[in-house]
């Protein structure tokens, strides 16, 4: 993609394909002399060797930004630091982070946007007209919302903020990079609102069990992704309850804090 060259962005994809990771976890490098890395990816030696090698070609590493503390995005951080040396690590909440990041901060060339929903510590990073979305928005498919307090409301608010930005390139945590970020961000917001519409409709029809609600609003989800859909259902139910729109007797999936990828 020409936009990657225009903005000095490169993807190093880990060899960890799967139903949640798609073709693998994307780690991004931006700039030169030094470059900055977004996400280390998983602890796979061959992947970390390649990531460190590509960074060296770009003049070394100025810092590593972490979108969120899930193993497929941050599990290789210790190994990466062993390869590139002790450089600043920025994250919202992570033991190896040396710089604590929050919404509105800057980290090297990156502006920080809090994007809770998939994980409570999730951040997106913007440099010029490029956004690195981690698991808040993928290059294809959709993403689950973890049932943390206020997760779905925070996620929708974050999407609205990102939609308002002037962006040309979206670099996701999984899947291909995309031009026209606003279109993709809007698709994600509208998809989430459509799930809510189906859920509200199912509740209005008298459905109450979590299995019934899941079948009604997430019936298109393949069986292997059903646990993630169940987590997202819980997040939607929490949102409706917080807004006073959840009918009596509606069952929330008993899943606690979903610990998936």
Q: What is the mean pLDDT of residues 150-170?
A: 97
117 shares its domain with 58: yes
* Locus of tokens 């139910």: 237
106 shares its domain with 49: yes
Q: What is the mean pLDDT of residues 115-142?
A: 97
In a domain, 256, yes or no: no
Residue 256: pLDDT above 90?
Answer: no
Instruction: Output phi, psi for 20, to 5 deg.
Output: -95, -30
Q: Which candidate, 180, 91, 188, places its Cα nearest to that of 129?
A: 180
Q: Would you say the pTM of this structure is higher than 0.75?
A: yes
CATH of residue 26's domain is 3.60.15.10
In a domain, 248, yes or no: no
99 shares its domain with 185: yes
Please report which confidence band the pLDDT of residue 260 belongs to, taking 50, 70 and 90 as the band edges.
very low
Please report which confidence band the pLDDT of residue 259 belongs to, taking 50, 70 and 90 as the band edges.
very low
Mean pLDDT of the chain: 95
The domain of 230 spans 192-242
The per-residue pLDDT for 62 is 98
Residue 257: pLDDT above 70?
Answer: no
What does the alpha-carbon distance between residue 188 and residue 50 come to, in Å, rounded to a whole number?
Answer: 32
143 shares its domain with 238: no
Taking each helix axis from N to C end, the angle separating 226-242 and 181-204, rounded to the nearest 10 degrees, works out to 80
* Locus of tokens 């019934």: 212
The per-residue pLDDT for 224 is 93
Please state, for a pLDDT cut of 90, what percent of the chain lies above it: 95
63 shares its domain with 176: yes
101 shares its domain with 212: no
What does the alpha-carbon distance between residue 57 and residue 70 come to, in Å, rounded to a whole number?
Answer: 27
Residue where a domain stops, chosen among 159, 190, 221: 190
170 shares its domain with 226: no
Q: What is the pLDDT of residues 198-250, one digit of tens each?
A: 999 999 999 999 999 999 999 999 999 999 999 999 999 999 999 999 999 99
Q: What is the pLDDT of residues 81-122, one digit of tens each?
A: 999 999 999 999 899 999 999 999 999 999 999 999 999 999
Integer-rounded Cα radius of gyration of the chain: 19
183 vs 148, which has greater pLDDT?
Answer: 183
In a domain, 31, yes or no: yes
In a domain, 259, yes or no: no
* Contact between residue 66 and residue 119 where contact means Cβ atoms under 8 Å apart: no
Q: Which residues contact 108 (CB under 8 A, 6 or more apart)?
A: 36, 62, 63, 65, 88
56 shares its domain with 95: yes
140 shares its domain with 222: no
In a domain, 88, yes or no: yes
54 shares its domain with 179: yes
In a domain, 247, yes or no: no
| Residues shown for the chain | 261
Question: Domain tally for the chain?
Answer: 2
Q: Give me the torsion for CA of 232, 162, 240, 146, rounded to 10°.
A: 30
The per-residue pLDDT for 182 is 98
Q: What is the mean pLDDT of residues 36-42?
A: 98
In a domain, 167, yes or no: yes
**Region for residue 44 given its phi and psi (left: phi exceeds 0; alpha: psi -120 to 50; beta: otherwise):** beta
């Amino acid at each position: 993609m020409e936009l990657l060259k225009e903005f000095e962005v490169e993807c190093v994809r880990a060899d960890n394909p799967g139903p949640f990771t798609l073709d693998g976890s994307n780690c991004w490098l931006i700039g030169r002399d030094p470059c900055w890395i977004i996400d280390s990816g998983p602890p796979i030696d061959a992947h970390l060797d390649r990531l460190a090698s590509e960074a060296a070609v770009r003049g070394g590493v100025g810092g590593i930004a972490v979108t969120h503390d899930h193993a497929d995005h941050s599990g290789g951080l210790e190994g990466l630091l062993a390869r590139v040396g002790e450089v600043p690590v920025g994250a919202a909440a992570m033991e190896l982070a040396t710089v604590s990041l929050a919404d509105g901060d800057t980290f090297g060339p990156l502006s920080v946007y809090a994007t809770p929903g998939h994980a409570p510590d999730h951040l997106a990073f913007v440099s010029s007209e490029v956004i690195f979305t981690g698991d808040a928005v993928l290059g294809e498919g959709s993403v689950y919302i973890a049932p943390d307090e206020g997760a779905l409301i925070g996620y929708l608010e974050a999407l609205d903020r990102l939609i308002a930005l002037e962006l040309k390139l979206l670099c996701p945590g999984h899947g291909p990079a995309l031009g026209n970020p606003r279109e993709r961000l809007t698709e994600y917001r509208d998809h989430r609102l459509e799930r809510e519409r189906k859920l509200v409709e199912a509740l209005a029809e008298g459905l109450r069990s979590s299995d019934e609600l899941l079948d009604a609003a997430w019936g298109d989800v393949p069986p292997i992704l059903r646990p993630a859909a169940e987590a997202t259902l819980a997040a939607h139910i929490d949102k409706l309850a917080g807004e006073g729109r959840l009918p009596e007797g509606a069952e929330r999936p008993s899943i606690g804090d979903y610990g998936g990828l």
